[in-house]
Structure 1
Amino acid sequence: MKTIAENPFRVHTPESLSAEEVVKLYVSEMPGADAVHSAGDTMVVGSRGTGKSMMLRYLEPDCQLLVQNHKSQVRITDIDYYALYVTIKQTDLIYPELESLEGTFADRPVNEHFLILILVWKAVSRCIDQGTLDFAKKNTLDTENSKLFKLLNNFVDYDGQKPKTDFDLFLSLVDYLADLHAASLQYLDEILADPDTTPKFETVLLRFSTFLLPFLEAWVGLEGMPRTRKLFIIIDDADYLNEMQTKILNTYVSTRQSYIFFKIASEIYQYKTFSTLDGRRIEVPHDFAEINTVDIYTSNTTRGYEARLTRIIDKRLELYNFDRSKTGRIANAEQFFPEDGKQKSEISKLRREISTGAHKVTSGASRPRDNAYRYAIPEYIRLLGGEKKSRSNYSYSGYNQLVNISSGIPRYFLEAAYLMYDRMKALHDGEFTFIDPSVQNTVVREQAERIVMEELERLKLSDTHLDGSSATAVLLHNLIISLGSFFQVSLLDTQATERRYFSFALSQTPTPDLEKVLRFGVRNSMFTRTTIGRKEGFGRTHRYILTRRVAPYFTLDPNGFTAYKFLTNSALERMMHDPDGFRQELRRKTADGGIGPLFDGLEDQ
């Protein structure tokens, strides 16, 4: 039997993957992928781990050449666009010294200089390293007619060694920008020496109109570039830009060039501003298309998250050649993560009994089949409790259940699967054909406990400038504990017509403090936000879905969240500020024979 040396579920940084690996692992059915591949500026927004970077890495020329490999002798001229990739997180743009320029005459030009310098330097260097500029080695330089040479000749000192090809021009440019970067850093040193003064900038200032735009125009016009003359400027992790740099980038987007397009990725709620330098605001769809990579629902009836994740897992198993058996068949996702057989059989039996009326439940549905779907797992979990309170025996295993627990973010599934695989490898000395249900259950339970007991604690220690202090994280922790407890009690309430809760809707406009906590929760993937019709029927309100990664911590059913509660500000404020009192009342109400209406602010959908 074949085994694999490397864990197939390892999460790699996409920009470090080879083109072959990216093309083999990439799943094209990403929400909004068509907009990213099309002409036009695009903003890709989503939580960490939703596939933003992989989507953008796939656009680079080395990947697109492989995508087109069904054609003979594919060249750069044959691909649809030429993409330059830069991730801000791995650049030298995050300089605190630049913040001291705020309010001075130097703020805009110096920030723009550093932004252009880093973008061009890193993008050209990456293309040289990947070999996607090799076509320019064949372009014998015509110095009299070359737009690229005429432009760079104003900046680059060739020391008497005139370049002979376009490729030589790019090599000289990289050397020049490296030297310019070193000289520019001296300016930051001067700021540190005397933060109260604005030193004179002694080096060349790079600007959009006099350097960046002419340079990109000359590049896209080179012989050997795509015939479509489309150039994509990919800026990943754009939320790492400071506010002035973000305004500068927005201004570039607002110019709406006919063949140069910006593809920008940012984590949700992290992009600093949508304002331009002159105070205008770039908006959807007038200035750019927006893609949200977070899938609210995990079923195949919406945006196909389950089908997309299945392709991701199947591709990984195939790439690493993991055999299901000695016949050579490659395992697929569902086979590789089987459900606990005994539990599956018992739930199926209970589902049949509910649908036939043999097992009575408080009906919230008009059809017995719907009752079986709604109540089988909640009843099974309740019955596991018994006198010994053994609900912890519920097994969070099986591929479909793991998909739901991942809450619409592929990385969460991969991180769990990575740990499961390593544990199986240790237990079975590398010889196994599937992940044992007990291992699946153990890992997701450990992860749920880590999220509630450690990850939220780490957020309390963070002092993010976006939220002022760690007090926001404390309130978020309290809210999650309160909601999880309430959803657990609801699941076990035999008198309730709805028992599977994982979300709530706002019945009022949230207070500023509540809004801050909820946004902080969304930004840190503790909630996902969508909209829903208001209870009174006028307009829409926000609905927040608790991450289903915490389902094992509270022993909840992660396989659906069709039910939700309308909550008032006062109810949410009590959950945040008095979680112990809230849970005490939950226990008292439960002891009295059912939770009923806990507070005026808790209402069924």
Structure 2
Amino acid sequence: MINISENPFTVHSPDALDQVPPETIVNLFVEKHTRFSAINQQKHSFLWGSRGSGKSFILRYMEPQCQFIEAGGVEEFFDTNDPYIGIYTPCSKGEIDKEELTLLSDAEGRVITEHLLNLSIAEEVTSALSTQFPSDYLNQDDKEEFAKRAANLFDTASIAASKNRADDYYNRSDSPLKWLNRLFEEEKRRVTHYLNKVPFTDDARYKGATSGYHDFLLPLISNVQKLLRQPNVPIYILLDDAFHLTKRQQQVVNTWIANRDQGTICVKVSSSKERYETFNTVGRGRIEIPHDYTEVSIDEIYTRNDSNYAQKVSEIANKRLELSDIPADSIEDFLPKNEFEQELLEEIKKQVEREWEEKGQPGERSDFINRYASARLFQELANRKNRKSYAGFENLVHISSGRIRYFLDPCFLMVEELKSNGVDIEEMEEIPPNIQDKILREYSRDLLIGEPEKMKKDLKPERRSQLDKLITLIKSLGQLFYNRLHDEDSREPRIFSFTVREEIDEDSEVKSVLELGRTMQYFQKDTYSSKDGGGREDWYILNRRLAPQFKIDPSGFQGRIRLTQRQLEEGCNDPQEFVRRVLGDDERQSGLEDFNQ
């Protein structure tokens, strides 16, 4: 169970969120800057976000138990504008994305794939009805009638064995919802048992029940509306981490979306966009925006102090502090900056301002100071042989790279570090800058060294080679960005991203390495208008959690460097030669583009 009082920055994985009390989810949820109003509209939609961006938390908040608390009761919730019943359905349990499904013929695979999806959703529906509504809210006769109608959606003979098994556990008259849930569970067990036999025999034939969208899922959800006596309240199917689904399963989901039955079933799909493989349906073409669905992205690239992301992090962290025993008034006070560096930075800002005035430098005064003061701080600290501190709320916001979990995780570790040093939670007015810096450096090092080592254990030899090249490329970029930051003559010193000058060959190793980098979250990818005109270039932003490891500035978004496929190939093999070639070609001047242009 989550314990905010002991450590307000505790984070649960999506699979463990069912252990978190709904009251806690409601208390911790922040609607502002999350685009929640777009997410909970009565429209099929895709919620895009990388791991740690908060997708699962949002979907959990949309469950009935949380919405009832927020509204003050069940009846009060149904009296609100546009109520809905959210059925959270995780796709990462290994119960839906069965690998054996790929061994079936197209026809059989399509049928059993949809049947397995239907059963998984049906299980979650009955579970929500029996556990998230007050025990006396649903009429007993209505529940029994609902169970009867739902069971009759199957061929009676095909589910006879499952009905008998359900009878062994529950009396349908006494516990109709639990009985129905057990029926669905037994049917899933039969499908799993069949799939387990498929790899070992050529003559295995599935003889159990099947179900489709129009003959099962849609009427099941219609019966839920009747049970609730809310015919106009849609049921939201909240499919979390749908990138775990097979491509065929995603096609089934897309086909449901193409039916546009939002008044009854509204499908909400969460996934990282690059890992959702297809937008094709089962034999009906492709779903399209805006007719079939809407998109909501909660990933953030820009983390400047005035960005929505920075404000969202502040609100989330402050809510957690309020619910804890920590006496700090705000997250900004709780994570103070390094005082010596702040004083030095203020001196440098004055020097940079005088330079702007005396030399007639281009641009606005504030822009010039913002562009160069922070870089001069890094340079001055290096000249003094002082290690740069990454302490402070603003630094941690930038280092989190737009992923709220990258903010909460190190904060959790900082609190645990103080507790291990004998500091009681009630005495933690702040995290000392040296503790912040220590944890952030370890957290950064783990992403570069620890995570790849863990991943290698499960990779095939050819993928291990790609991973090695990816880590070499990351080190090459880190060294390049460090050199730029510490070059006193650099026009754009604070960079941590690059664009690719031309299309990368589809079958090239660089292409595979960059895609692996996105999958492992070393890069965020966007596009940027080409400096030469005529289209857009792929834009890769380094995960700024690596900033302490490479001693670079995580706060700059002024420019990006342009690289070629050949240079990236060099970066995958030899960091020193990569940096020499890029800087030798004077890319540091001609290759940069101003963010504000």
TM-score for the superposition, normalised by structure 1: 0.87
- Shift in CA distance, 143/463, structure 1 to aligned 2, threshold 3 Å: closer
Q: Is the 8 A contact 2:44 2:262 kept in 1?
A: no
Aligned twin of 1:6:
6
How far did 1:368 drift?
3.7
CA shift for structure 1 position 37: 0.7
2:182 paired residue number = 175
Q: Deviations over 1:105-143 (max 9, x none)?
A: 321112222121122113322442333675223555796
Matched residues, number? 575
Matches within 5 A, 1:209-220: 209-220=214-225
Do the aligned residues in 2 keep the contact of 1:44 with 1:263 (CA within 8 Å)?
yes
1:297-446 superposed matches below 5 A: 297-299=302-304, 301-302=306-307, 304-324=308-328, 331-357=329-355, 365-386=362-383, 390-391=385-386, 393-430=387-424, 431-446=427-442
**Aligned-partner SS, 1:90:** coil
1:40 correspondence with 2:47: no
Task: Tell me what 1:27 maps to.
Answer: 30
Aligned to 1:185: 192
Deviations 1:304-349 (A, max 9, x none): 000001011001101113213xxxxxx2110100111111111111
Equivalents in 2 of 1:17, 1:478: separation in Å? 40
Aligned-partner Cα distance in 2 for 1:415–1:248: 36
Structure 2 unaligned blocks of 5 or more: none
Partners of 2:541 and 2:362 in 1: how far apart? Answer: 22
Q: Tell whether 2:291 aligns with 1:286.
A: yes
Q: 1:554 aligns with which of 540, 550, 553?
A: 550
Q: Note if contact 1:460-1:471 (Cα within 8 Å) is conserved in structure 2.
A: no
More helix by share: 2
User: Cα 1:596–1:578, aligned 2, differ >3 Å: closer, same or farther?
Assistant: closer
SS of 2:498's equivalent?
strand
| Change over 3 Å in CA distance of 1:433–1:190 after alignment to 2 | same
Question: What is the identity, as a one-letter code, of the residue corresponding to 1:176?
Answer: L
The SS at the match of 1:263 is strand
Amino acid corresponding to residue 262 of structure 1 in structure 2: V
CA apart distance, 1:98: 1.9
1:529 matched to which residue of 2? Answer: 525
Cα deviation per residue 1:153-206 (whole Å; 9 max; x = unaligned)? 9567587999558xx442321121122223333312331431xx1522121112
Does residue 83 of structure 2 align to residue 80 of structure 1?
yes
1:121–1:223 CA distance, 2 compared to 1 (3 A):
closer
CA contact (8 A) 1:43 1:264 kept: yes
Displacement, 1:75? 5.6
Q: 1:234: Cα distance to partner?
A: 0.7
What is the deviation of 1:55? 0.8
Alignment partner of 2:450: what SS?
helix
The answer as to whether partners of 1:396 and 1:444 remain within 8 angstroms in 2 is: yes
Q: 1:597 aligns with which of 581, 585, 594?
A: 585
Confirm or deny: 8 A CA contact 1:43 1:263 kept in the other structure: yes
Q: Report SS of the residue matched to 2:274.
A: coil
2:373 maps to a residue whose letter is A
Residue 230 (structure 1) shift: 1.3
Asked if 1 retains the 8 angstrom alpha-carbon contact of 2:398 and 2:544, the reply is yes
- Contact kept, 8 Å, 1:8 with 1:317, in 2: the verdict is yes
CA displacement at 1:219 relative to structure 2: 1.0
- Deviation of residue 357 (structure 1)? 2.6
Letter in 1 for 2:99: P
Find the residue that maps to 1:339 and give its secondary structure. Answer: coil
Contact 2:561 2:588 in 1 (8 A): no
Q: Alpha carbons of 1:267 and 1:462: their partners in 2 closer, same or farther (altered >3 Å)?
A: farther
CA distance in 2, matches of 1:39, 1:358: 53
- Tell me, what secondary structure is at the counterpart of 1:401? helix
Once the two structures are TM-superposed, the CA of residue 484 in structure 1 deviates from its matched residue by 0.9
C-alpha distance after superposition, 1:274-303 (max 9, x if no partner)? 21110512222221111221101012545x
Aligned residue number for residue 16 of structure 1: 19
TM superposition shift of 1:365: 4.2
Is residue 504 of structure 2 the alignment partner of residue 540 of structure 1? Answer: no
Q: Distance in 1 between matches of 2:362 and 2:52?
A: 37
CA distance in 1, matches of 2:357, 2:584: 23
Aligned partners of 2:147, 2:7: CA distance in 1, in Å?
53
Asked if 1 retains the 8 angstrom alpha-carbon contact of 2:500 and 2:539, the reply is yes
Residues 567-576 or 177-186, more deviating: 177-186
Is the contact between residue 301 and residue 524 of structure 2 (CA under 8 Å) also seen in structure 1? yes
Contact 2:144/2:176 (CA < 8 Å) preserved in 1? Answer: no
Unaligned runs of 5+ in 1: 325-330, 587-594
Matches for 1:137-152 after TM superposition, within 5 Å: 137-140=139-142, 151=153
Q: Percent of pairs identical after alignment?
A: 28
Amino acid in structure 1 at the alignment position of 2:447: I
**How many angstroms apart in 2 are the aligned matches of 1:581 and 1:198?**
58
- Paired residue for 1:204, among 209, 219, 239? 209
- After superposition, the C-alpha distances for 1:230-285 in whole angstroms (9 at most, x for unaligned) are 11011111111112211111111111104110011112311232211105122222
2:568 corresponding residue in structure 1: 572
Q: What's the offset of the Cα at 1:474?
A: 2.1
Shift of 1:488: 0.7
CA contact (8 A) 1:503 1:564 kept: yes
Amino acid of the residue matched to residue 171 of structure 1? K
State TM-score, norm by structure 2. 0.88
Conserved 8 A contact 1:149-1:169:
no
Q: Structure 2 matches for 1:94-105, cutoff 5 A?
A: 94-101=97-104, 103-105=105-107
User: Aligned pair in 2 of structure 1 residues 132, 577: CA closer, same or farther (>3 Å)?
Assistant: farther
